[in-house]
A = this chain, B = another copy of it.
Amino acid sequence: MSRMGMSSNDHQPKQQKPSLSRERVVAAAIAILDGEGENALTFRALAKSLSTGSGAIYWHVADKRTLLAAATEHVLSEAIAQSGRGTHPADAVRDVALGVFDVIEAHPWVGTELAREPWQPAMTTLFEKISAGFDAMGVPRSALFYCGSALVQYLLGFAAQAAAAARHDFQSQDRTEVLTTLVARWTQGEPADYPYVHLLADELRSHDEREAFLAGLDLILAGARNLQG
């Protein structure tokens, strides 16, 4: 277990190899997650990337779960903190949600981690911001919690779905092939039994992820606006 306390690793005199630190470990983990995918992050790979052993890593980080949480927090917190701009309250909420969207598009493993462990610290900040937005939109106090929860769950659902898609893309290196396979499974049933699925299959293949995300978001925002008064 890592010991919290006075660590003195702020001076690497000449061209000594820089001493390990929690930040360096987290940064290396993020680099592996981004560059080689979620499955590539093992303590052995991490140790090699840092030219050390797994024991040394465990001195700075309790276990893999907290390492993943720290990595998620690192990329999420800044994005969320800087988001929330917008003249209208609804725009501010949209901006926060889009901040999360962009982070997940850039780092799909964040989606996996969010889907497994939704209540990361950064999510508290997110809940604060969107609650403020809903309040400014005129949502009554009694419904604020439900609105915030609903939006968070919508975000989590997108996170899960985007992360799963990215995992599949990563394996086959070919997004269109993955989509074709998905559409094929999608349209496996008889058109007579699944008319809407067949009707909308084209859209599944060609839809723009961000546009769909925003459309779903606007559904929730419109529903929230509807609670005014």
**B-contacting residues of A (Cβ < 8 Å)?**
112, 114-119, 121, 124-125, 127-128, 131-132, 135, 141, 143-150, 152-161, 164, 182, 185-186, 188-189, 193-197, 199-200, 203-204, 207, 212, 215-216, 218-224, 226
Q: Which of B121, B128, B146 contacts A196 (CB 8 A)?
A: B128
The 9 closest A-B pairs by CB, nearest first: A150-B216, A219-B223, A153-B157, A157-B157, A156-B157, A131-B196, A146-B215, A222-B223, A223-B223
* Given A157-B155, A160-B116, A147 and B197 contact (CB-CB distance below 8 Å): no
* Contact yes or no, A154 B144, CB < 8 A: no
* Contact yes or no, B150 A219, CB < 8 A: yes
Whole-angstrom distance between the alpha carbons of A154 and B56 in the complex? 41
**CB<8 Å pairs between A and B, sample of 5:** A115-B115, A125-B189, A128-B195, A149-B212, A219-B224
- A190 → B minimal CB distance (Å): 11
